[in-house]
Amino acid sequence: MDLRQLRYFIGIVEAKSFSRAAISLRVAQPALSLHVRNMEADLGTELLLRTPQGVVPTAAGELLLERARRLVADFEDMKRAVSESDNEPAGEVRLGLPGTIGELLSVPLILKTRQAYPRIHLTVAEAMSGFVLEWLAEGRVDLGLLYIPVDRHGLRSVALLSEELCLFGPAEGVPGCPPPQGGTATLDEICRMPLVLPGIGHGLRTLVDAEMERAGLEIATVIDVDSYGAIKELVAQRVGYSILPFNAIAREVEAGRFLSWQAGQPALSRNVHLVQPFDRPTAKAATAIEALCRETLAQLVASGHWRARLIDG
């Protein structure tokens, strides 16, 4: 069993299909099937199952997948570290961002990277915090910005800034639920509203649930949606209200589609954390991107494009 076979195995599991994996990996499907059979023969156990939902790993396959991702990530880290040892930062850096951060950070960071480090290929992947955390733990991204501190799964984090959250709703109002009066919505008012929020386990939902529990309150109605775009669209369709940082809805507020209120008194807030592995060597390229992230965040806050407060340290 070699590194190439491990890459093929990872590709098949992620694609959930031999045919789709063959296309993305640019390898003939019969060759992929042969590699898997050889791996199963070497290990003496079945690794993959074909189901109506696609190809899924067995228990042994799950174990192999976890170890394979780490091995491949470590190998790529080694290549980058050696190639950069006497040169300027170069190679691929994979950055995971929640969508609400990506809207502000992705474009200026990519432009800065192209100008400052032309030999670095920066790949930005966006998803909710819970998914970005999974990518970091699995070695699928090198750095991530999250709304939750992480000190497990071989990861470490440092808080960079704090941003306020706001309640927002459609300008036309939600049927049967009048909007708050004034510029602030209390937690008692918010908990009685129909809310559209990320599912349990995501950073924003965890924060809102914890604040409600601390106040002795419980949300009456919640629709779980694991997509910021879908959350905003459901609010626009007058299904309910939601809670996000103002930056995520600034365009809609300016266009008159949404109204916003301070969420709670004092306002709900959350920190943005830089998260990266501590059990793998950090390549020059990743260190360079980390510095650019910090620089770009500071500029966004100073210019007023990001309503937040930088955290010293």
What CATH number does the domain containing 113 carry? 3.40.190.10
Q: Examine the domain organization and report whether 243 and 254 are in the same domain.
A: yes
Average pLDDT, the chain: 90
The confidence score (pLDDT) of residue 313 equals 58
* Least confidently predicted of 44-48, 128-132, 181-185: 128-132
Whether 178 and 302 map to the same domain: the answer is no
Tell me: do 140 and 276 sit in the same domain: yes
Which of 111-115, 218-222, 246-250 reaches the highest mean pLDDT?
A: 111-115
Structurally, the chain folds into a number of domains equal to 3
pLDDT tens track for 202-212: 778 989 999 99
Is the pLDDT reported for residue 126 higher than 70? yes
Please give the pLDDT value at position 281: 58
What predicted TM-score, i.e. pTM, was given to this entire model?
0.66
As a whole number, mean pLDDT of residues 181-185 equals 93
153, 275: one domain: yes
Which CATH number belongs to the domain containing residue 177 in this structure? 3.40.190.290
The predicted structure's pLDDT at residue 280: 65
pLDDT in tens, 240-255: 999 999 988 988 999 9
Tens digits of residue pLDDT in 260-301: 999 999 999 999 999 998 766 567 899 999 999 999 999 999
Is pLDDT at 84 greater than 70 in this prediction? no
Residue 313 inside a domain? The answer is no
Q: How far apart are the first and last CA of the chain?
A: 45
Cβ neighbors of 25 (< 8 A, separation 6 or more) are 7, 8, 11, 32
CATH number at residue 57: 1.10.10.10
The residue segments making up the domain with residue 223 are 161-267
Residues 263 and 127 in one domain: no
Q: 16 and 61 in contact (C-beta within 8 Å)? A: no
